[in-house]
Structure 1
């Protein structure tokens, strides 16, 4: 959504050994080099990123396919991100679930973070632990996205979006409804905003992109 708004975007997959962002974007046959190749000086950033063929301005730098210890140091990751900042408007670091190596590398030099959770109790507990690990980020640089929201499920759990905000302790930047179109687009390897322009989740992503870029957009009404 940011790229479609005219920004130059680099997505970096930090899920070492279990990378799948290339599959979601339909770039699995194009992404050959990974971020460790660039950070260790084996190849240049320009030769390693892959531009999406249908979304101008959207690029991918994938994660190492195999997990063999820590692929790069925190300092190497900081140096890589310093170079990325000179060439892209936004760098989106896709951190894996959990608080392991991929998470630490993704957050060691990031300017801000978005914690993604669902409204169930176990996910919110994980979000709380994640927020505690992100305590070095200054006020205003941490935000919350509540994902896969179903109104009927919230009612059955006697829960609200406000409950999720209170438990995570973060300001809300977006609410994404449960949407079958997202599952279909992931399996087809086509970004949702290309696969189903009218989907409710796609509308939520566009609103989040506007807020990330400093604009204003209403929270999506969950039906």
Structure 2
């Protein structure tokens, strides 16, 4: 049975979609069958990050309503055949997912994929609840910005039902120079969020350009790519030490 991993944060702009796409690429490169599921209804961007915007003709609402099967709705990546996307609906239109519908969808996903990375929208609304309802693990993505850390704390409060070891923190876009200027450390971020650390991703100006090419982990963003690969290996069960920044 596959694992469902929800990628969340209370604040927008922390890099959830980038994280989801990069970890999806990394796990697929390890031979895992991976589904990236976009839960940001009406504001989806995961298809762009994966370079699949022209291919995502169906979305998860089509599966839930019975208009198509899961296999018909998912789109495979042309360069990584074990990486798939299930898009979010383009329009809200009062769309609502019942708990039993979400459970059935996630059950089918578990049977078909090794990992499902669920890209949750910012905030704690319906998309957040859908992303976390059936999740086995949750990754809270934050930056070292004080507002992002405060929102991460608030997000953690909504995840109290998860047992210890099932919710982890990723600190994204870390600039070593900035950390020195702010007299802060990654430990401060961990203490603020109250979570164990899954990984640290350094700031890398090449990430946006690679995302625009639909291949987030390209050769140019060496340090960020290395960090994402290390996090993917930890998700897959390997013991990998944290990369020094």
TM-score (norm 2): 0.87
Q: Is residue 36–residue 64 contact of structure 1 (8 Å, CA) maintained in 2?
A: yes
Q: Distance in 2 between matches of 1:74 and 1:158?
A: 44
Which residue pairs with 2:85 in the alignment? 60
Q: In the alignment, is the contact (CA less than 8 A) between 1:181 and 1:199 conserved in 2?
A: no
1:26 aligned to which of 36, 51, 54: 51
CA separation in 2, counterparts of 1:69 and 1:130?
A: 25
- In structure 1, the residue corresponding to 2:240 is in which secondary structure? coil
Where do 4+ consecutive residues of structure 1 move more than 3 Å?
Answer: none
Give the Cα–Cα distance (whole angstroms) in 1 for the partners of residues 238 and 202 of structure 2.
21
SS at match of 1:209: helix
What is the SS of the residue equivalent to 2:228?
helix
Match of 1:78 in 2: 103
- The answer to whether the 8 A contact 2:204-2:221 is kept is no
Unaligned runs of 5+ in 1: none
Give the drift of 1:66: 0.7
- Structure 1 segment 123-142 matched on structure 2, within 5 A: 123-142=148-167
**Corresponding position of 1:185:** 210
**Residues 132-160 of structure 1: CA distance to partner in whole angstroms, max 9, x if unpaired?**
01111111100000000001111111110
Structure 2: distance between partners of 1:75 and 1:51: 27
Matching residue of 1:115:
140
* Matches of 2:48 and 2:61, distance apart in 1: 19
Cα distance in 2 for residues equivalent to 1:64 and 1:23: 14
**Contact 2:50 / 2:216 at 8 angstroms: preserved in 1?**
no
Equivalent pair of 1:14/1:94 in contact (CA under 8 Å): yes
Q: 1:202 aligns with which of 222, 225, 228?
A: 225
TM-score normalized by structure 1?
A: 0.96
In structure 2, stretches of 5+ residues that fail to align are 1-25
Paired residues of 2:49 and 2:216 also in contact (CA < 8 A)? no
- Structure 1 distance, partners of 2:63, 2:237, is 30
State the superposition RMSD in angstroms: 1.1
Q: 1:39 aligns with which of 61, 64, 89?
A: 64
Distance 1:46 1:15 in 2: 21
Q: Cα offset for 1:197?
A: 6.0
The answer to whether residue 236 in structure 2 is matched with residue 213 in structure 1 is yes
Are 1:147 and 2:207 an aligned pair?
no
Highest relative contact order (Cα 8 Å, sep 6+), 1 or 2?
2
Number of residue pairs aligned between Structure 1 and Structure 2? 220
